[in-house]
Chain A
Amino acid sequence: MNKTFRIDWLTVVIYFLLVFTGILNIFSATYSSEGFSYFNYDNLAFKQCVFFIFSLVSGVLVLIAPSKFFQRFSSLIYLFSLLLLIGLFAFGNTVYGHKSWYTFFGISIQPTEIAKFATNLAVAKLLSEIQIDLRKIKSLIQVFLIILIPVILTLLQPDFGSALIFLSFIFVLFREGLNPNFVFFLATSLVLALFSLIKPFFYVSVLLTGVFACFYFLSKKINKKVSIIPLVTAFISSCIYVYSINYIYNDLLSQRHKDRIDIFLGKETDIMGVGYNLNQSIIAIGSGGLSGKGYLQGTQTKGKFVPRQHTDYIFSTIGEEWGFYGTSIIIILFATLVLRILFRAEHQKNVFGRSYAYGTASLIFMHFLINVGMSIGLVPTIGIPLPFISYGGSSMFTFTILVFVYLNIDANRLNESRI
């Protein structure tokens, strides 16, 4: 059979643009003209280059791998990543209270990053199984298990932010036939959770009673025959849910996480305290203006006002030095990349390819949403990197592999049979 191999060049171009933007801005964020520094930041941009070259070489190897390779080995890769996550509890390094890192010979690896890719593969693989039907409970349980195991392992580190990223797979499941009620259920849960954090339990339960009562009387007027039992069940479970959210917030979450949620909810206004990061990030971005202060000219960046500016808050450097023009281009690049992958996903002939591409787009979308949203104060402060741009080897490697596996599958799609 004549093999056709068509690379999605647009994705490749965007990939390179984002990576170069990243290196450029990491250099700026860690640059110090006076050589002033307590830590040796000087070579971080160079290190990112090394990560990039390593990732790119791995990516090219992935690209030229046989097209069936990843589908075939997905379970193995998934299990390997779970092992890495479990191994953390024995061999992991504790940084800032998180057991999220392995350190060998001065190189740190964050297995959660790799787990994102592995889970994507595993979900795609499972969905492509012929007996899987998301309308069946058994299939649902299988899929959720695959997603929840790494989530739970990540939560135990504890890494709340990375665990949240696994929500991305809900988009894949929805695309592949998940009951909309699930999505509705998830959305209501989120709204309820939010409410229960802002308002006291008593207030929320009164509100719930009101809503359910209205619903009951309205439906009775329309239908006359409304069974009260499911409604009462729903009401009670809602109350329990709200109560447990309160319990988790008050008794289980550490103060640091509570602070972050509080800032997001607008409960805290202490600028020099916990809201400091967000406030400095917004000042930096806001002061960039339309066209920015110019490369290496950002005063907030130079003064290192924004903490972790080369990693989680890299977007504030872009905002300050490149202005609204710069941030717009970054948003356009990310939106184009996600949309491009989604469009190409629909052209896939089999479920594996489509699900994988969908998962890739969802993961990128989720990171983009949370990271940029956090930097401009639209999303609570959750420490996750901006794909391709933030400093970090694990993130760079994972997203490169994620995209290059997609490129491989996409390039080979004409050779696939419809299964």
Chain B
Amino acid sequence: MIRIHLLKLLTILISLTFFIRLFGLQVLDKDYDKLSQNNAILEIEDYPERGFIFDRNGKVLVSNQPAYDVMIIPENLSPFDTLSFCKLTSIDKKELIVNLESARKYSRRLPSVIVNQISKETYARLQEQMWKFQGFFVQKKSIRDYRVNCGSNVLGYVSEVNGEDLIKDKYYRQGDLIGRQGIEKSYEKELRGKKGKKFLQKDRFNRIIGPYKNGKYDTEPSQAQNINLTIDIELQSYGERLMKNKRGGIVAIEPETGEVLALISAPSYDPKILVGRQRSKNYMELANDTISKPLFDRALLAQYSPGSTLKPLNALIALQEKVIDNKTKHSCNEGFYYAKNAHMDCNCKYGTKNDLIKSIHKSCNTFFSKTYLNLINKSKSAINGVEIWKKYLESFGLGNYLGYDLPIGRPGLIPGSGFYNDLYKGEDWSATNIISNGIGQGEVLVTPIQLANFTSAIANKGFYITPHFVNTGNKEKTKVKLSKNYTAVESNYFYNIIDGMHKVIEEGTARIAKIEGLNMCGKTGTVENFTIIKGEKTQLTDHSIFIAFAPKENPKIAIATFIENGYWGSRWAAPISSLMIEKYLNNSTTRPRLEKRMLNGSLEYEYNKPLSGVNFNINE
């Protein structure tokens, strides 16, 4: 029996074994499909050109330029004159050897970059001598071309994706560019467009032998969008020049629309240095400058005490809460005692009696402290009082993120009852404990863009539109909600405040900011500030602040300027704001001496004081 059936049994047995093995290979195990995809199909991406960025007047700020990478395919390489190659491409010989080695390690058949982004001129020179360098070739790619040397904090920059990006968003592949900061980041999707895909069939030598399935699975790239900024690049550039050798920020907003006209952070850097071969070196230099922090956008991120610039808001709240009216007067005797042994200093002369308008343009601490005490004490308790006050301020866009369309920001701080309960650790506290808030010198923190935004709300008499940087020309497409945000203070209360702010320029603290033929409103601020030197809290020269809008009727620009350690408000911030306003509204400036002083003035000596290690005087 076995003699007859052995081979039959074997045939059946072997066939079954084959079935099982094939079922496992072909049906159960899906890995082979991937392996096949990997070694037979090349997926290449078809990149649309990154969108351009224009300013509000249609000037091109960012476009693209071709960059040339010198590539090699190691297996095609033959001995070459390394010296002349290094000279041509200005690459270090050591670097060349390292790059060649890593290219070899990566793949002998696939191209690798040897010299990154050579210039057009170098490319032209290299091209003539290319025949000397077997196995080398030049690959063209597109990189950013900055047409201006300012606005880097708004524009942001692009760089190659890193491992984290690759995990976060499956869209990106190794070597892709991604917006890292500013508009490049927040409008990344619009600017990059959508890359298409091409599938190519490879053979076993990794050569491309044609489209895979005649391009059946290929997708076309979709066009990238251009971005129109609300920034006026002339104003931006002017502001950056004014801020040279100073630290701080300027934010200018068109009140009616909420469009940001200029966003200046100083010190800053030329956006051009973050493209090209020196990119990483330059970036490291910027990132390592921990003293002046050029990568830190002070206009959006720095949180300062608002100082006297908060006074108009406190007055508005007091008016709305009927704590004062336009006839209310408080007497000031170079300040006043608000509690036993607690004196509030003021610049007013002994025996002065100030009404609201006068208090604003004289920046009377006494009036605003007394008003603040009355405001808080009007409620059942200080806890309720401070919460009511907080609500009002929040309606001016303070104490929270503004929601503009740049990727970074800070909420600032409006202290509420919870904050003070924590601060005083459960002990009772009353209005007198928090009296500094009345003059903007307490725990309140604001960012320069928040300052500009509430100035805009005052200019609008009771509403602001969320500041934004991109004009899409289409409300639906805008990333920011463009409806009016009404303040909790009704618009009829604004007239007195605006009159007061007008007088600040005409006869008050900021007469230096007066522009002939222009009705401008403003408010200075001078902020005490401290730092820690060798473990000791040390006071530094005051910050100089100014908020303003113009013209008084139908305002076109609202501005906030913050100069770190600029001493008093009208010393630096007011003239700079004034020049900015003049430049924007009149397109020219008429005060060459003031302008020259502002442009050339440097506060570096102030910034060096705390670093010098020796004792120093402030507010000189």
A residues neighboring B (CB under 8 Å)? 32-34, 36, 171, 174-175, 177, 180, 280, 282-290, 297, 299-300, 302-305, 319-320, 323-324, 327-328, 331-332, 334-335, 338-339, 342-343, 346, 358, 361-362, 365, 368-369, 372-373, 376, 378
Which residues of A are found within 8 Å of B25, using beta-carbon distances? 282, 285-286, 319, 376
Interface-facing stretch out of B201-209, B386-394, B486-494: B201-209
How many angstroms from the CA of A64 to the CA of B14 in the assembled complex? Answer: 35
Residue of B8, B21, B202 near A378 (CB, 8 A) is B21
A289-B26, A302-B201, A342-B8 known, 11 other contacts, Cβ within 8 Å:
A282-B32, A283-B32, A283-B35, A302-B209, A319-B25, A327-B26, A361-B7, A365-B11, A368-B14, A376-B25, A378-B18
Residue of B4, B10, B15, B39 near A331 (CB, 8 A) is B15
Residue of A324, A342, A358 near B27 (CB, 8 A) is A324
B4-31 at interface with A (beta carbon < 8 Å): 4, 6-8, 10-12, 14-15, 17-19, 21-23, 25-27, 29, 31
Query: At the interface, yes or no: B290 with Cβ under 8 Å from chain A?
Result: no
How many angstroms from the CA of A177 to the CA of B347 in the assembled complex? Answer: 128
Residue contact B33 to A287, C-beta cutoff 8 Å: yes
With A342-B8, A346-B4 as known contacts, state yes or no: A289 contacts B27, CB within 8 Å. Answer: yes
How many angstroms from the CA of A63 to the CA of B327 in the assembled complex? Answer: 129
B residues neighboring A (CB under 8 Å)? 2-4, 6-8, 10-12, 14-15, 17-19, 21-23, 25-27, 29, 31-33, 35-37, 39-41, 201-204, 209-210, 212-213
Residue contact A175 to B3, C-beta cutoff 8 Å: yes
Residue contact A305 to B14, C-beta cutoff 8 Å: no
Residue contact A376 to B22, C-beta cutoff 8 Å: yes
Residue contact A319 to B26, C-beta cutoff 8 Å: yes
Which residues of B are found within 8 Å of A376, using beta-carbon distances? 18, 21-22, 25
With A365-B11, A376-B18 as known contacts, state yes or no: A286 contacts B40, CB within 8 Å. Answer: no
How many angstroms from the CA of A288 to the CA of B32 in the assembled complex? Answer: 9
How many angstroms from the CA of A339 to the CA of B201 in the assembled complex? Answer: 42
How many angstroms from the CA of A361 to the CA of B316 in the assembled complex? Answer: 105
How many angstroms from the CA of A174 to the CA of B14 in the assembled complex? Answer: 19
Residue of B7, B23, B31, B201 near A324 (CB, 8 A) is B23
- Scoring A323, A327, A361 by chain B CB atoms within 10 A of each residue's CB, the highest score goes to A327
How many angstroms from the CA of A320 to the CA of B23 in the assembled complex? Answer: 13
A-B contact pairs, 15 of them (CB 8 A): A175-B4, A280-B204, A282-B32, A285-B22, A305-B203, A319-B22, A328-B22, A331-B19, A334-B15, A339-B12, A342-B7, A342-B8, A346-B4, A373-B18, A376-B25
How many angstroms from the CA of A302 to the CA of B40 in the assembled complex? Answer: 8
- Scoring B10, B12, B32, B202 by chain A CB atoms within 10 A of each residue's CB, the highest score goes to B32
Residue contact B26 to A288, C-beta cutoff 8 Å: yes
How many angstroms from the CA of A280 to the CA of B40 in the assembled complex? Answer: 11
Residue contact B22 to A324, C-beta cutoff 8 Å: yes
Minimum CB–CB distance for A391 against chain B, Å: 19
Residue contact B204 to A305, C-beta cutoff 8 Å: yes
Which residues of B are found within 8 Å of A32, using beta-carbon distances? 209
With A174-B3, A303-B203 as known contacts, state yes or no: A365 contacts B10, CB within 8 Å. Answer: yes
Residue contact A300 to B3, C-beta cutoff 8 Å: no
Residue contact B22 to A305, C-beta cutoff 8 Å: no
Nearest neighbor of A376 in chain B, beta-carbon distance: B21
Residue of A288, A303, A319, A323 near B202 (CB, 8 A) is A303
Minimum CB–CB distance for B198 against chain A, Å: 15
Which residues of B are found within 8 Å of A373, using beta-carbon distances? 14, 18
With A34-B210, A372-B18 as known contacts, state yes or no: A358 contacts B7, CB within 8 Å. Answer: yes
How many angstroms from the CA of A373 to the CA of B36 in the assembled complex? Answer: 21
Residue contact A287 to B32, C-beta cutoff 8 Å: yes
How many angstroms from the CA of A288 to the CA of B27 in the assembled complex? Answer: 9
Residue of B6, B15, B26 near A174 (CB, 8 A) is B6
Nearest neighbor of B11 in chain A, beta-carbon distance: A338
Residue of A177, A287, A327, A361 near B36 (CB, 8 A) is A287
Minimum CB–CB distance for A168 against chain B, Å: 9
Minimum CB–CB distance for B344 against chain A, Å: 82
With A171-B6, A175-B7 as known contacts, state yes or no: A36 contacts B32, CB within 8 Å. Answer: no
How many angstroms from the CA of A339 to the CA of B12 in the assembled complex? Answer: 9
Residue contact B39 to A283, C-beta cutoff 8 Å: yes
Minimum CB–CB distance for B163 against chain A, Å: 26
